[in-house]
Amino acid sequence: MTLFGIDWSPGALWLAAALALAIAELVAPGFFMIFIAAGAALTGFVMLAVPGLGWIAQALLFAAFSATAVAIGRRWYRHSPSTAASHGLNDRTAKLIGKTVEVCEAIVAGEGRVKVGDGAWAATGPDAPAGALVRITGATGSVLSVELA
């Protein structure tokens, strides 16, 4: 096939398509186009090794390689531990667990308020006077669970 005045082999076109898909993944990351790019690259390598395959065989190879790459990628993502959940990404209360804070409104009958940074949060835990130090042990919604430090 001639494109831009250059004679392109089908293998080279598949590899160029793989490169374009990989660049698209970099521009708009979503961890999906990279698997399709892998399918196109594998098809390109097969076409370089066996240049006489027709377009139907090429399309079938591309579909099979892409489906396999997507299946492998899904399996890998399913079994790999998520680091975002363990570090409390987008979960402010999870980041607070373990911190020692000051009681700003006495905890009476298990309820009060603690000072976290420049704000006050509702807290539940053992009775403690204002000014006492408590450690955050958990959270339910925006209510912190505390224990005496």
pLDDT digits (tens, 9 = 90+) for 83-121: 555 555 667 777 888 999 999 999 999 999 999 988 999
Residue type, 87: H
Quick check: 77 pLDDT over 70? yes
Backbone angles phi, psi at 16, to 5 degrees: -65, -40
Report yes or no: 134 and 149 within 8 Å, Cβ to Cβ: yes
Strand partners, 2: 7
CA distance 147 to 36: 52
Least confident among 43-52, 80-89, 126-135: 80-89
Verdict on whether the full-model pTM lies above 0.75: no
